[in-house]
Amino acid sequence: MKILVIGADGQLGSDLSKIISASEQIPLTIKELDITDREKILAIIKKYSPQVVINTAAYHNVDACEDNLVPAFAVNTIGVKYLAEACLASNSVLLHISTDYVFDGTKGQPYLETDTPNPQSIYAVSKLAGEQIVKYMLKRYFIVRSTGLYGAAGCLGKGGTNFVETILKRAAVQPELQVVTDEVLSPTYTFDLATAINVLIRTEHFGLYHIVNHGQCSWHEFVVKIFELLGQKPIINKVTGETFKSKAKRPKYSVLANANLAKLGLDKLRPWPEALQAYLTEKGYLQNAHRPNP
Ligand SMILES: NC(=O)c1ccc[n+]([C@@H]2O[C@H](COP(=O)([O-])OP(=O)(O)OC[C@H]3O[C@@H](n4cnc5c(N)ncnc54)[C@H](OP(=O)(O)O)[C@@H]3O)[C@@H](O)[C@H]2O)c1
């Protein structure tokens, strides 16, 4: 199978590049393919004629999106339209990555693929529009929503870091940490997400999927677990989102259920604490632990 990975040096893209065999993948960074360039997309997808195109590219600085509608929609919506167009012309399947932020966070229990989105930010509106364009244009597609991604490469859209690394850096210089209790999610290790995607694309079960590590926690509980695993005891104060004023609204509760994946018997994702341990091991923070097998 020929699989073209867009955003290949990003957090998820890097793990996809590790997991998909080298002989199958065509990894492209923004330098090789910018999805806002319609002509180039059409030419590249025609040239490689891949069976599957995986789009991890996004403009996803959530606060910046509020003031920067043009780049947000150019990448998260219009670029996705160009990709769908090129996939249609080359008979390629498109797997497009979306987000938990399409939900408003009021449900209070894990969101299913059948739940109605209600985006609360420009970022979320632009991502939902991207999903809708894929559904409108293609029959052979996968849309995969995930939440709170962290992976070894760090998130390029957020300065090459991720939540775990940001917290570790803060803990090294601050006597006490302030972490929110009122944002609850399913933090997901991109290695595990990439592993699940690599299985899903080999099926013909097209449609919408939630793919996250199992369980839920607040960011505060996540940070407590990081330091418990590391055997450290910094002071971690509980605060609410009000403490950190941000431009964009974020859902207070965006736990996803892997319902459609489970129906196929393909929901092999581990609980988030185990995934976090695997991440800390991969990064070399934990000794005597084993790296997960793909
Ligand atoms: N991070 C999260 O917590 C989270 C949560 C839920 C869903 N998601 C979704 O998951 C996906 C992957 O996120 P990630 O954390 O892996 O992000 P990431 O590390 O920022 O990776 C995104 C990749 O796409 C590239 N890119 C950006 N604009 C592009 C364009 N116009 N054309 C081609 N490539 C472009 C980036 O390159 P440059 O950085 O060099 O521009 C980067 O390589 C995104 O769709 C995001 O919306 C993320």
**Structural domain contains residue 184:** yes
- Kindly report, residue by residue over 238-292, the tens digit of the pLDDT: 999 888 889 999 999 999 999 999 999 999 999 999 999 999 999 999 974 444 4
| pLDDT score for 245 | 83
What does the DSSP assignment read for the chain?
Answer: --EEEETTTSHHHHHHHHHS-TTTEEEE-TTT--TT-HHHHHHHHHHH--SEEEE------HHHHHH-HHHHHIIIIIHHHHHHHHHHHHT-EEEEEEEGGGS-S-SSSPBPTTSPP---SHHHHHHHHHHHHHHHH-SSEEEEEE-SEE-TT-BGGGTTB-HHHHHHHHHHH-SEEEEESS-EE--EEHHHHHHHHHHHTTS---EEEE---BS-EEHHHHHHHHHHHHT---EEEEE-GGGS--SS---SB--B--HHHHHTT---PPBHHHHHHHHHHHTT-SSS--PPP-
- Is the per-residue pLDDT at 192 higher than 60? yes
The answer on pLDDT for 72 being more than 50 is: yes
β-pair partners for 176 = 235
Domain that holds residue 13: 3-282
What is the band of 237 on the pLDDT scale with cuts at 50, 70, 90? very high
> What is the model's pLDDT at position 227?
96
Distance 57 CA to ligand 1 centre (A): 4
> Is 288 inside a domain boundary?
no
83, 156, 167, 209: which to mutate for ligand 1, most atoms within 8 A of CB? 156
Tokens of 121: 């930010």
Least confident window among 14-23, 158-167, 215-224: 158-167
pLDDT of residue 159: 79
Residue 47, pLDDT score = 97
Pairing of strands 93-99, 52-55: parallel
Can you give the pLDDT at residue 154?
83
Give percent of the chain above pLDDT 90. 92
Which residue has the least CA distance to atom 8 on ligand 1? 99
| Residue 112: inside a domain | yes
Question: Measured between alpha carbons, how far is 32 from 30 in angstroms, rounded to an integer?
Answer: 5
Whether the predicted pLDDT of 230 surpasses 50 = yes
Exposed, middle or buried, 185 (CB in 10 Å: 0-12/13-18/19+)?
buried
Count how many domains the chain has. 1
Question: Closest residue (by CA) to atom 29 of ligand 1?
Answer: 57
Per-residue pLDDT tens digits for 4-38:
999 999 999 999 999 999 999 999 999 999 999 99
Neighbours of 164 (CB within 10 A): 21
CA distances (Å), 211 to each of 50, 147, 160, 197, 239, in order? 23, 8, 23, 9, 28
Model confidence at 204: pLDDT above 90? yes
294 found inside a domain: no
Query: Looking at residue 220, what is its pLDDT?
Result: 97
Given a cut of 90, whether residue 58 has pLDDT beyond it is: yes
Return the pLDDT at 156. 77
The rounded distance, in Å, linking the Cα atoms of 203 and 210 is: 16
Atom number, ligand 1, closest to the C-alpha of residue 60? 47
Domain-embedded: residue 233 = yes
Give the binding-site residues of ligand 1, using a 6 Å CB cut-off: 6-7, 9-13, 29-30, 33-36, 56-58, 60, 75, 79, 97, 99-100, 146-149, 155-157
Distance 32 CA to ligand 1 centre (A): 15
Q: 186 with 255: CB under 8 angstroms?
A: yes
* pLDDT at residue 83 tops 70: yes
Separation of CA 31 and ligand 1 centre (Å): 14
The whole-model pTM stands at 0.96
Q: Please, are residues 52 and 46 in contact by the beta-carbon 8 Å criterion?
A: no
Is 287 domain-assigned? no
Residue 290 lies in a domain: no
Mean pLDDT over all residues of the chain? 95
Residue 271: give its domain's CATH number. 3.40.50.720
Q: Which residues are catalytic?
A: 123
- Mean pLDDT on 120-130: 98
Whether residue 229 has pLDDT greater than 90: yes
- Per-residue pLDDT averaged across 104-109, rounded? 97
> How far apart are the CA of 261 and the centre of ligand 1, in A?
23
Question: Are 183 and 252 within 8 A, CB to CB?
Answer: yes
Q: Is there a domain that residue 44 lies in?
A: yes
